[in-house]
């Protein structure tokens, strides 16, 4: 039996206005990627990538994103992310930092990005946990 081979793309979203928007989430980013695949590559490519493309992690404070896709489709996802200019009518820029074959190296790349970022708002406490601690816990829960 052949196993399902994935690629993990680690990229960062930089908003043009510089504001942190917590209303964006994994679903909106995934929807934008799917719309981009449909417009750039057509509906056949969308159907192929739809089953495997998944946003595993998104941190609105640093803009770090981890996307999983099939090994056969990751170049299309990469091309779409490079061509995207907005998410829900907000102008942004994407920068792909790493493409990895396993999730542990992708998570390490995200930790490195988040540690170097310095944009975390640790002074805001929600639910007894700082936003940075909440996203570190979410990153730890990704299946390895």
> 76: buried, middle or exposed (CB in 10 Å: 19+, 13-18, 0-12)?
buried
**Cα separation, 31 vs 117, whole angstroms:** 26
In contact, 49 and 68? CB cutoff 8 Å = no
Q: For the segment 11-36, what is each residue's pLDDT rounded down to a tens digit?
A: 999 988 888 888 889 999 999 999 99
pLDDT of residue 113: 83
Q: What is the pLDDT of residue 127?
A: 54
Identify which has the larger pLDDT, 135 or 43: 43
Identify the pLDDT of residue 122.
47
- 40: in domain: yes
CATH number, domain of 50, equals 3.30.70.3250
DSSP string, 31-72: HHHHHHHHHHH-HHHHHHHHTT-EEEEEETTTTEEEEEEETT
Q: What is the pLDDT of residues 85-143, one digit of tens each?
A: 999 889 999 999 999 999 999 999 998 887 765 544 444 445 555 666 677 677 777 76
Would you say residue 1 lies in a domain?
no
Range of the domain at 84: 6-140
Q: Which strand ranges, in their side-by-side order, compose the sheet holding 6-15?
A: 54-59, 64-70, 6-15, 90-100, 86-87
**d(C-alpha 117, C-alpha 61), whole Å:** 9
| Span 38-52, average pLDDT | 89
Domain total for the chain? 1
Measured over all CA atoms, what is the biggest interatomic distance in the chain, rounded to whole angstroms?
A: 50
Q: Is residue 144's pLDDT more than 90?
A: no
Phi, psi for residue 58 in degrees, rounded to 5: -145, 130
């Amino acid at each position: 039996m052949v196993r399902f081979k994935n690629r993990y793309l680690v990229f960062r979203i930089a908003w043009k206005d510089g504001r942190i928007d917590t209303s964006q989430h994994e679903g909106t980013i995934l929807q934008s990627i799917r719309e981009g695949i449909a417009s750039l590559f057509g509906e056949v490519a969308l159907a192929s990538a739809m089953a495997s493309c998944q946003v595993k992690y998104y941190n609105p404070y640093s803009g770090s994103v981890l996307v999983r896709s099939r090994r056969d489709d990751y170049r299309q996802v990469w091309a779409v992310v490079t061509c995207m200019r907005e998410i829900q009518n907000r102008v942004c820029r994407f920068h792909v930092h790493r493409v990895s074959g396993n999730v542990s190296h992708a998570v390490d790349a995200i930790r490195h990005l988040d540690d170097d970022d310095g944009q975390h708002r640790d002074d805001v406490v929600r639910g007894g946990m700082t936003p940075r601690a909440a996203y570190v816990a979410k990153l730890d829960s990704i299946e390895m």
